[in-house]
Chains A and B, each alone.
Chain A
């Protein structure tokens, strides 16, 4: 069983479309994150949820909207996709929200916007 799973792994779409990436963790963690790997391969935090509540919201365009239906799931919805949104998006979970617990990452979802 994969601890943190993301779907889809690959997504190719046209500019202007709306798409979602789903994330599920079976570790019983309260905290989940979305990270974006930028063109320089840095992992940059986008959002963090603790027990379904948003606790970190970085400077991310409003076109990006996270949704956490329960603490095991954190989905990322992106409206009106732009070329610059092409990246690998990583979901992660942690047993704590304060940053002292290690992160468990999903395998990443590679989004390509044409």
Chain B
């Protein structure tokens, strides 16, 4: 059974704080790691797809790193804003073409 675990499950920060959360996945047969942002009442939207060990990707104030040897990825948000409030999902692909999603980290940013 392939498990993708995200921590923490929820996070409450103040506007302006920087924050990060973790996605852990099996380190064998790695193919790709995805991050999605899921706002309430909307559908998940892709942030990053990473395929290489050591990959670092950035989109505005959000960035992600990837360590395939130890099986983890970090998502960082610099200077959190209330509009960053959402659930952040990671998903792991082990070459089967099948994305296994974690349960998500629910981020709440208070003004």
Contact = CB atoms under 8 A, between A and B. Distances in A.
A49 to B, nearest CB: 11
Given A41-B104, A42-B103, A43-B89, A99 B98 contact: yes
B17 to A, nearest CB: 25
Q: Name the residue among B32, B44, B89, B93 with the largest chain A CB count within 10 angstroms.
A: B44
The DSSP consensus for interface residues of chain A is: loop
A66 interface: no
Contact of B31 (A4, A43, A97, A98): A98
A66 B101 CA distance: 21
Contacts of B103: 40-42
Given A99-B32, A100-B93, A103-B34, A56 B98 contact: yes
Contacts of B45: 105
A4 B104 CA distance: 22
Contacts of A12: none
Interface string A42-61: 11110010000001101000
A55 B99 CA distance: 13
Contacts of A99: 31-32, 93, 95-99
A31 B45 CA distance: 17
B86 to A, nearest CB: 13
B59 interface: no
Interface of A: 4, 40-45, 48, 55-56, 58, 90, 97-108
22 contacts: A4-B43, A41-B104, A43-B91, A44-B101, A45-B98, A45-B99, A45-B100, A55-B97, A56-B97, A56-B98, A97-B97, A98-B95, A98-B97, A99-B32, A99-B93, A99-B99, A100-B32, A100-B51, A100-B93, A103-B44, A105-B43, A107-B42
